[in-house]
Chain A
């Protein structure tokens, strides 16, 4: 049973526009969320995180929004750049438990 879902396997966005990647979860106990980014032939790298006590966290061009009532989080990238083309995984956990990863979304930035 997939507790963390990314319903869009792929997304294409024009360079300079906003990219919005979505993630839904089913376990209401999750209290910490992360986004990882993965280039081909490389391991995932940490991008940004958010605690459930917040609804927004920003780091440069990247902002994560959390809607606890909807059990939904999203990653906004503004403006999108060609180097942002990668696979993005959201992940969730509660307490000090292990991470549960989503299925991933492949983002392609079109020059």
Chain B
């Protein structure tokens, strides 16, 4: 059974804190993605990675960075959290490059920045 796991389901942080969101997949997928989901805006792509140590900006990369040191793990970093980064964060992975391949999502991390 394919699985994408995220380190936390709920997280509360203070403005200015450095925040790490971890994502692990056990499907040996090449591609991993970070999205955020906000009411009325749907899912928006923050960053994605097609290979280890490789990263590409998505639609809204500002205020975020990522790290992919191992194939199965993709981390999203908020260098200095701000209240407008309060959101649901979803990690996904897919076997092949591009969006035609089904993406498998984790359960999400609801981040609140106070």
- By a beta-carbon cutoff of 8 Å, the part of chain A in contact with chain B is 4, 6, 9, 32, 34, 41-46, 49, 89, 91, 93, 95-99, 101-104
Q: B35 to nearest A CB, angstroms?
A: 8
Q: Measured between alpha carbons, how far is A97 from B31 in the docked complex, in Å? A: 13
The reply to whether B97 and A102 contact each other, CB–CB distance below 8 Å, is no
A-B contact count, CB below 8 Å?
Answer: 61
The reply to whether B45 and A43 contact each other, CB–CB distance below 8 Å, is no
What are 29 contact pairs spanning A and B, CB under 8 A? A4-B42, A32-B99, A32-B100, A34-B99, A41-B9, A41-B108, A42-B108, A43-B91, A43-B105, A43-B107, A43-B108, A44-B90, A45-B104, A91-B99, A93-B98, A93-B99, A95-B98, A96-B97, A96-B98, A96-B99, A96-B100, A98-B33, A98-B58, A98-B59, A98-B98, A99-B99, A99-B103, A101-B43, A102-B42
Tier of interface size on chain B: 20 to 34
Q: Measured between alpha carbons, how far is A95 from B99 in the docked complex, in Å? A: 9
